[in-house]
Structures are given as structure tokens and as C-alpha cells.
Amino acid sequence: MMAFAWPWLGLLLPLPFLLRWLLPAKPQAEQAALIVPFLDDFPSGETRQLSSPIRWPLRLAGFAWIFFIIACTRPQWLGDPLELAVNGRDLMLAVDVSGSMDEKDFIIDDKRYDRLTATKYVVSDFVQRRVGDRIGLILFGTQAYLHVPLTFDRKTVQTLLNEAFIGITEDEPQTSIGDAIGLAVKRLQDEHTDSRVLVLLTDGANTAGELMPVKAAEIAAQHQLKIYTIGIGADEMLVRSLFGTRRVNPSADLDEKTLQAIADMTGGRYFRAHNTEELEQIYQMLDQMEPVEKDKQFFRPKAELFYWPLAISLGLASLLAMSRLRGQ
């Protein structure tokens, strides 16, 4: 849409008419006149031809003034509103990529998938909803490493999360929960935000790393890092073998007691996801517990247009000046 940055300058448009009305008229020089007693015999068209050369410079000057005032009001073309990224909170996601995450006990659209695939499916939607938050991604197995630093670019976080695979950290099927928490503390401790959150998802217990989970939670609490822990995996699963079908617990190694302690020590909460539906509900609850910024900020891109009427005004003024020079 069209807009004017300084519309009040349009009040200058009638200025030439006001000056002509307020200032005294220029006295006409006395010249000898030829009195023709039969002036009425001259055709009226010639009179109009004599007066027309006097009028067109005034019209030219008038149009030049109008376009000049339009340029002074600074016309602009405003584009569609674009949402600005606002500094809501620093949100770090820690996802377990150890060998146990390959267990296929989650169902999506009537098909059985492994735990990591189900996590990608749910967490990607969660990341997309976190408008205004800076999001980072930590992957941990035998080792923990920063996969995506804090960024407003949610699309990049989604892409790199979907590219993660089982054993990306190490080939050994171990889990370093404590190191993942410690890495999150290290990356968030120097950030100047009032809200720092870590969402840690795992399906096992701490079996690797140098830092114990409880000790890491104590350090996180000292740095005001709130941790939400999610234990993932079904409690019961039918497995076929040579001896028939038997029921097993694929989440027997899940250390819920430690995950609960981590959440309690840091002011967070522990969640248990047995299936895809529960995992989706957990991340929806996280949206409610850690809401995104409601006061969104927008800006509209502006394209300056004042040079078009200014160019027309200068062109008309040049024509007027050239006509004056030729008249002399």
C-alpha cells in the first residue's frame, strides 16, 4: 500500500496562492499604447493566441510545484507485515541417539517406527511452534555434543534434527545423560536471558560420560537452568521367537528415578511417554508450561518513491527555465 512519511508537508501546497494574495502586486511599467478605434474588427481568436503563451508557463510552474510538494511528503510503498524474532527464552533440546533408541515400539499412522523416528516426528512440530525462542540441539549417546547452537532459525533446527541417526556420536550403545546436562549448562550460562530451559529426552540410564546426572542437575540449578525430562519407551511389547510369542519390557533400562530427581532439583518436571500420542501430549503441555512470547513484533519493508515526483518536478522546472532563456 501507499503511504506518506511526512504528510503534513502537503499543507504547503497552497503557499504560492497565499503569497500572491498577501503580497502587493508588481506595478506595471507605463508604456506607450496604440489606440485602435476599430479594435472590435480584429478576430477574437488572435486575442486568445496572444494570451496563451502567457498562461502555459504558469501552468507548468504549478505542476512543478505540485510534484515538488508530493516529493516532500516522502511517498513510500509499504510491503506486507513481517514478524520479527523476539527474544523469548533460550530453549535447549537434548535428544538421546544411543543404540537403544532403535527399538521399534512406537506407532505412527498404523506403522511401527523406532523411538528416534517418533521423537523427530513430534519434536519437529514442537520446534515449529516455538516462535520467538532461541533453540539449540544437543545429541548424546556415548558422548554429548552440540549439534545446533542457539538460533532463531527453527527450520535449520528441524532439518538437522531429522538428519540425526542412531550412533551418530559413537558406535557403542551407551548414554551420557550427565554430560548432556553439563554441555547445556556450559552453552547457556553466559546468555543474558531470564528464562533458560532444557528439555532432555532419553530411553535409558546414564552409562557413560564423566559427569553424573545428579551432580550435573545441581550445577544446572545453580545457573537457574530449568530441566524437563522425558522418559520414552513402551512398558510392554510382544516379541516373536522360535519358542513362540512372549511379552517383554523394552524400557527395563529406563532410570525414571534419576530423571525425576533431575527435574525436581531444577524446578522442572518429569514426563513418561509410552507411545506417540503421549509424547505429543507432553510437548503440548510444555507449550503451556513454557509459553512463547505473546507480544509479537512486526515490521513492514519500505520502498522510497519520492524520487519519482521529484524528478518530474525538476524536469518541469528545467523546461520552464529553458523557455525563459529562449524568451530573452
pLDDT tens per residue across span 19-61: 878 877 666 655 555 555 555 555 554 444 444 555 777 888 8
User: Could you tell me if 106 and 228 lie in one domain?
Assistant: yes
Query: What SS3 class is residue 141?
Result: coil
Query: What SS3 class is residue 166?
Result: coil
Q: Is residue 72 domain-resident?
A: yes
Highest mean pLDDT among 17-21, 36-40, 74-78, 160-164: 160-164
User: Could you tell me if 123 and 261 lie in one domain?
Assistant: yes
User: Could you tell me if 265 and 286 lie in one domain?
Assistant: yes
User: Could you tell me if 95 and 237 lie in one domain?
Assistant: yes
Query: What SS3 class is residue 168?
Result: coil
User: Could you tell me if 95 and 72 lie in one domain?
Assistant: no
**pLDDT tens digits along 79-137:** 887 665 555 688 999 999 988 898 888 888 888 899 999 999 999 999 999 887 889 99
DSSP state of 129: H
Q: Is residue 270 domain-resident?
A: yes
Q: Is residue 24 domain-resident?
A: no
Q: Is residue 164 domain-resident?
A: yes
User: Could you tell me if 122 and 64 lie in one domain?
Assistant: no
**pLDDT tens digits along 290-322:** 876 555 566 678 888 988 999 999 998 888 888
CA distance 299 to 80: 9
Give the pLDDT confidence score for residue 47 in this predicted structure.
47
User: Could you tell me if 72 and 104 lie in one domain?
Assistant: no
Global pTM reads 0.62
User: Could you tell me if 167 and 309 lie in one domain?
Assistant: no
User: Could you tell me if 98 and 113 lie in one domain?
Assistant: yes
Q: For the beta carbon of residue 44, count every other beta carbon within 10 angstroms.
A: 8
> 28-32, 79-83, 138-142, 174-178: which range is least confident on average?
28-32
User: Could you tell me if 178 and 309 lie in one domain?
Assistant: no
Q: Is residue 150 domain-resident?
A: yes
Closest listed residue to residue 197, CA positions, set 89, 65, 81, 299:
89
**In contact, 263 and 229? CB cutoff 8 Å:** yes
User: Could you tell me if 71 and 143 lie in one domain?
Assistant: no
User: Could you tell me if 121 and 234 lie in one domain?
Assistant: yes
Residues spanned by the domain of 271: 85-295
Domain count, the chain: 2
